[in-house]
Structure 1
Amino acid sequence: MASSPLGHPTRGTTGTNRLRRNDRWIAASAAFRTAADPLVIDLGFGASGVTAFELATRLTKVRADAEVIGFELDPARVATAQAQLDDVRAGRTNFSPDLRVSFAHGGFEVPLPAGRRPAAIRAMNVLRQYDEADVPDAWASMAARLSPGGMLFEGTCDEIGRIASWVDVSSAGEPERFTLSLRLAELERPGIIAERLPKALIHRNVPGERIHDLLTALDREWERAAPLSTFGATQRFLAAVTALKRLGWPVIGGRSRWRLGELTVPWDSVAPR
């Protein structure tokens, strides 16, 4: 294990409920639900510990034994989060004083004691400021810390959590799925996700690349489904995703996930050429 944290400091902006879409995805994942040890890492939690508190709150609704540890490269951010945790423990916040949350200094090496391995690692808005060439090594470093069957969720979102996307990376370090998640109310077009793609894809939204093909097709079907907007944005999105599936796109999941503004496809269908 590295003697000092692995990674580069980021701006670390943090907003209440910013990562709610990813929280919901992790809570529904098999990696978390079936884990022998339901430990989830909030890697690079930012300037506030609130994302870890929110994640733990949502996870404990699924498994009461869920635990979250937040890691940051900046010791000052860890100290800030610890002070916030003191307030939580004292009952001075809206979070449960009994939340199984803690904070520590660390990076991609995920320094857990006694060989403990997490069921999931969440690294949202961490690689956004890295070079695309850095992504495979970062994925490999984090995935190597997972328990067998664990999952890394790496991606990005906008400042208020209405637009998000992420990649599910297996404990073997292999990307498996790509998900985009959108707040459908007042959505102009799904292709807006282009500005919040994971680092591995954000520079690939150009003609000839698979992610460009997907977003172009999704926008086209969204426009074709415009008459359904009378019945709400959800019905319009459902129609667009259904049309994508009919066109041969290997859409994963069903209407219960699509209603949330989610679209998931195998990584191979969007992987850079």
Structure 2
Amino acid sequence: MRTSIPWHELGALALGGALLILPACEPKADDDTGSSTSGDSEASSSDGSSSGGSVSDSSGGSDSSTSGGTATATATSGSSSDSSSGVTSDATTGMTTLPTSDSSGVTSDATTGDPPQPCAGDPVAIDGLVTSMAYLKSQIPPDMTTGSGSSGSSSGGEPDPSTLYIRLSDQSFECKDPNAILSCGAHWDLTIVIPPEYQTPGTYALGPGDVLGIFGETGPDEGGNNCGFGGGTFGATLEIIALDDSTVEGRLCNVDSPWLWPDPKPDLEGTFYADRCP
């Protein structure tokens, strides 16, 4: 049996707290999303590690949910797939987290009342970034296979068109197709989803809450453009330092490392400058 799993659904699956292990696959010529699966291997884990022999290292554990497996990854200029679900509620409890802030600009998580763990030390630029871009939901082309209505939000509908996406990756992406899938690599990407009400300088807890953090990764090409891929949510502290119509300056720290394949593992503790799509 062959199953087609749109790339953008990884974020929604991760919000449910489940580990998705995808089996071996072969290229599917008519799959515009670029990911297809078939086969019979499976594994499951409750702590972010795979019983199939691959281990996902997560220093935070509770904030990071991962998925991994083997699939076909194709990067084509004509395909779009929304790697960020835009979901802004806790899928486990159904609770929507509301921000609270004090005079210092620190925004706390209203679910627990605890502020995000602040960043320490002098910031350094994140190394190895090929793509550092920012774009709005309204700038994402409709998905040619599943349609643009497949993204979710806390209200159960489409994310606000003004929702801001920040994508960081070691692969090159362009504004004409900002949510194109990763090619076989190993390659990696992070997508930060920021609703309009959080688009202001401050410190935010990144994870499966209102300010959503999603990662994706692919393994080495095993032939025929077949490779492993995984994705899910990850925890971190996000500092929005400055943003305007052209650039978003930010910093990540206290990052839960979810990586399976990239070697060396990317170090995402540092600052970034994301150019906004025109």
TM-score (norm 1): 0.29
When Rg is computed on C-alpha atoms for both structures, the one with the higher figure is: 1
TM-score (norm 2): 0.29
Larger strand proportion of the pair: 2
Larger helix proportion of the pair: 1
